[in-house]
Amino acid sequence: MSLTLVIGNKNYSSWSMRAWLMLKQVNLAFTEQRVRFDSFDAQSHFKQSLLAISPIGKVPVLLDSTLGPDTAIWDTLAIAEYLAERYPDSQLWPADMADRARARSLCAEMHAGFGALRSLCPMNIEALLPDVGARLWRDNAHLRDDVQRLVGLWQAQLQRSGGPLLFGDFSIADAYFAPVCLRLTTYALPLPDDVQAYVSHVLALPSVVAWVSAALAERDFLPFEEPYRTSAQPAASVA
């Protein structure tokens, strides 16, 4: 097996999830190598383990033995483009050129944007935080703006494609937004029915079901990843 994907904790690592779904959903064979988050300090086991294979010391990292021992592919968008190029039959990008261009634009916007949603609502699959979500929604206009932009983006694309996924069938774009679907669910942020239907379709994908199941089985509570909980229990109501 030539491909190895290095990831972090499944409960918390949204970028690891994106790359993993690209491989898993289209049945590409790969070895999973998990490096537990212990800290992101320079001398942590996590950081030292990653720096040994990647110059930025972050997950995910894709290793392909056919490229030689010193070649690592880091950054999720780079991994996406590499997989699409190496495995064209998997159709990770849409077949139509205009759709591919649009899918790349959606992924690039996700890659660089939605800062309020990502910082205020970090991925935490095992947690149920509707009260926290309600407070954040009430108090943060930037969060509301991010979700409004997300809703408009998804609605427009679903209307273009006819659904049920952004480009009809699974693509890199759905892998990119899958952790967002989990965030929206964890924090119970308000969504219109058509967008909620898309979220439900994404969460029912076999690869997403497998990732979530593994995340729930980790039972690895990491306080430095937890802005809203003090134990592996749902957060208390926050007024």
Domains identified in the chain and CATH numbers? 3-90 (3.40.30.10), 97-225 (1.20.1050.10)
Q: Where are the beta strands (DSSP E) in 41-124?
A: 61-64, 72-74
What pTM did the predictor assign? 0.96
The angle subtended at Cα 178 by Cα 38 and Cα 230, nearest 5°, is 40
| Own/partner pairs, 44-53, CB within 8 angstroms, 24+ separation | 46/8, 50/6, 53/6
Q: Using 50 as the pLDDT threshold, list the residues of the chain that sit under it.
A: 236-239
Indicate the average pLDDT of the chain: 96
By three-state DSSP, how is residue 31 classified? Answer: strand
Q: What is the pLDDT at residue 1?
A: 66
Residue length, the chain?
A: 239
Q: What is the pLDDT at residue 70?
A: 80
Q: What is the pLDDT at residue 233?
A: 76
| Own/partner pairs, 80-85, CB within 8 angstroms, 24+ separation | 80/18, 80/19, 80/22, 80/107, 80/172, 80/175, 80/176, 83/22, 83/23, 83/28, 84/172
Cβ contacts of residue 50 below 8 Å, gap of 6+? Answer: 6, 35, 56, 57, 58, 59, 61
Q: What is the pLDDT at residue 237?
A: 44
Q: What is the pLDDT at residue 68?
A: 86
